[in-house]
Amino acid sequence: MSLNDLLDKLGDMLQPEASKKKHYRKKLKALLKDLKLKEVKLKEKLEATEDERKRDRLEKEVEIVHTQRKKGIKALEDTKKEKTD
């Protein structure tokens, strides 16, 4: 085990709240990445679809995913602000 790993574990033991925030930010970043990929795929489907009903449904899905991403980005920024305060 490297020195950095040992120091990280020690920091986690001494400051469990910081460890939870770090883990939360990591999971949130992964979720945002997945949402971005989903949004890109939906947009590609939307461009390829000619059926009006399917296009309407896909547009709504893209809008929902985009809104979720915006909320997630804001939550990530808020955790970053808490970290610096």
HEC per residue, the chain: CCHHHHHHHHHHHHCHHHHHHHHHHHHHHHHHHHHHHHHHHHHHHHHHCCCHHHHHHHHHHHHHHHHHHHHHHHHHHHHHHHHHC
For residue 72, is it within any domain?
yes
- pLDDT of 13-24, one tens digit each? 778 787 788 888
- Read off the amino acid at residue 7: L
For residue 78, is it within any domain?
yes
For residue 8, is it within any domain?
no
- What is the reported pTM? 0.75
Q: How many domains does the chain have?
A: 1
Give residue 85's pLDDT band: very low, low, confident or very high (50, 70, 90).
low
Domain that includes residue 65, residue range: 25-84
Taking 90 as the threshold, does the pLDDT of residue 3 lie above it?
A: no
- Residue 8: what pLDDT? 78
For residue 3, is it within any domain?
no
